[in-house]
Amino acid sequence: MSKKYHWFWVLVFLGFLGCAGQKEQVIRIDTRYGEIVAVLFDDTPVHKSNFIELAEAGRFDSTEFHRVIPEFMVQGGDVFSKEEMPAEEWPTLPAEIRPNHFHKKGMIAAARQGNNINPERRSSGSQFYIVLGQVYDELELTTDMAKLQAAFMQYVQLQSQDSLRATYTQLYEQQDFDSLTRLILSKRDEIEQSLNLKLTKDLSAEQLEAYTTVGGTPHLDGEYTVFGEVIQGLEVAEKISLEPRGSRDKPLDPIYMTIRVEAMTPAQIEREFGYIIEDGK
């Protein structure tokens, strides 16, 4: 064998060894309801490294899931309040909002302040939430409800829509808002054509599949950085979300957490959790 090909195969073998030994950081969040296991995404490197650094330093330990809402999310990790840091000194992270990461059930995202004081959508330096959400039907999911409602009110004022206006008024007076929503949605395509408007939202095939099967919170897409995913123990987050709540959706009985980081190869993760680490994530 020539030296040329000898070194080629040496490099291939070394590359194979490097891939085989590649480690991922698995996040283990322990609560009184059990353990939540997650992975963090490589294409949100600032959020990933920040979370791991806080976890390895033990700074998440004894923080709470301090805001819980059934069929929406559970939020926790308020490190800086625990450490009694003045609010004006709390660090933030630059947004890493990626179109391939959306608010499917089980995703982990960074909390943040609202757009009115945070137009750059910078993330909290510690607080995160686990998405729960709901399952949507495709018609509701692909409709811009705010635009449709405004267009519907314009449409029912047309003289030709006396019957529709009467039905709408009756349902409104009965406070039957579910039927009212179904009525408005049923007229979407008709209103689009009549008023020459676009009342639909563009979603990827992946979003459609996720939100109409496992569910999530699609209205948050593009607004918050999604940087990880639960791979085991999502039922623990669901139990936490059902805790009796007081002011600001805080559990009456505190739900504390401890977080540790474990290095595992992608093969180990797939074998133990059935989760495949995708390239670039």
pLDDT of residue 17: 43
The two tokens of residue 266 are: 């992608």
Q: In which band, very low, low, confident or very high, does the pLDDT at 22 lie, cut at 50, 70 and 90?
A: confident
- The residue whose two tokens read 């133990």 is 272
- The neighbour count for residue 278, using CB atoms within 10 Å, is 11
pLDDT of residue 8: 45
> Domain 24-135+207-273: which CATH class?
mainly beta
pLDDT of residue 23: 85
Domain boundaries, the chain: 24-135+207-273, 143-195
Rounded CA separation 240/212 (Å): 24
Higher pLDDT, 231 or 18: 231
Q: What sign results for the dihedral spanned by CA atoms 174, 176, 182, 188?
A: positive
Q: What residues have CB less than 8 Å from 13, skipping those under 6 apart?
A: none
Beta bridge partners, 24, equal 264
- What integer is the mean pLDDT of 116-144? 97
**What is the percent of the chain where pLDDT is above 90?**
90
Rounded CA separation 103/218 (Å): 6
